[in-house]
Structure 1
Amino acid sequence: MDLRESIKKHTEVSLNLAKHVSLKHAKESNLVFSPLSIHVVLSLIAAGAKGETLDELLKFLKSQTSGDLNSFSSELVALVLADGSKIGGPRMSFANGVWIEKSLPLKPYFKDIVDTVYKASSFLPYHYNTHFKL
């Protein structure tokens, strides 16, 4: 994975999304959104997707494989979301959620990606849902 190329693609996706949202939904109002947050959560969803859903996510995120997305997200988590006191850089955190139907168990490979690549925590706050906190 070429980090510069991944950043370029992420920037293109972010600018396209910002343009769409601002022109279609925020013409007469203030707009705040996090392209990084959107990218990470869509990459996480792509890690567990297959078929047409995966194809559409990869197309939207301008990526060839979910492995490329995981690699880029892992870099982001290590660099951007790091505790600044350890490496002298920024400290950023955000919360996103993905809710999974409790009756549908997570596949071990997906749970491993959630834990190791995205450094996300999972817990069961509701009877029917699993929530990942990024």
Structure 2
Amino acid sequence: ITKHLADASPRGNMVFSPLSIYAAVALLAPGAREDTLDEILRLLGVRSRDELEDLISRVAADALKDQSGSGGPSVAFACGVWNDKARPLKTAYRETLVGTYKAKSRAVDFRGNAGKAAQQINAWVARVTGNLITAVVSPKSFCPATDVVLFC
């Protein structure tokens, strides 16, 4: 991944989070079945969906806790799942994302108003990162086939 990202922007600075990549892939697991689920679990190094959910719950509750109030590190980590309003997420999937994975879940209009969808996503990213990151998508980030966008 590092080489691919560096090759894409050889003269620019690069920052990426392996934890964010892990978390984004983990967000796929609650909605996956059979071979796809097996492949995701193998990639993430866990044996079952339950083991993955337990790991994610512990990391979200402990390792990513903001400890700045007690002199520790200030931590901001957020995951978001944005679906097109014409393609609602299944209730059980949404509940797992929000409850177990602590992800934000919102429906937007990728197809009918890509500009507003990009604005909503970018506003959320700016808010959860304390304006350290102000934009991650543009209206051109979405195509007519865009149903879901994951951010971590």
TM-score range, shorter-chain basis? 0.5 to 0.7
TM-score, with structure 2 as normaliser: 0.58
2:88 corresponds in structure 1 to: 105
1:96–1:105 distance in 2 versus 1, CA, 3 Å: same
Match of 1:26 in 2: 6
Counterpart of 2:6, as a letter, is: A
Q: Which has the larger displacement, 117-126 or 57-66? A: 117-126
Q: Which residue of 2 aligns with 1:120?
A: 103
Deviation at 1:85, TM superposition (A): 4.7
Count of residue pairs brought into register by the alignment:
114
Q: CA RMSD in A?
A: 2.9
The equivalent residue for 1:3 is none
- The aligned runs of 1:1-134 (5 Å cut-off) are 21-23=1-3, 26=6, 31-85=14-68, 89-128=72-111
Q: TM-score, normalised by structure 1?
A: 0.65
Report the Cα distance in structure 2 between the residues aligned to 1:53 and 1:131, rounded to whole angstroms: 18
Kindly report structure 1 stretches of 4+ aligned residues shifted beyond 6 Å: none
| CA drift at 1:109 | 2.0
Looking at structure 2, the residues matched to 122 and 25 of structure 1 have their Cα atoms a distance apart, in angstroms, of 27
Distance 1:103 1:23 in 2: 37
Structure 2 residue ranges without an equivalent (≥5): 112-146
Instruction: Answer 1 or 2: which has greater helix percent.
Output: 1
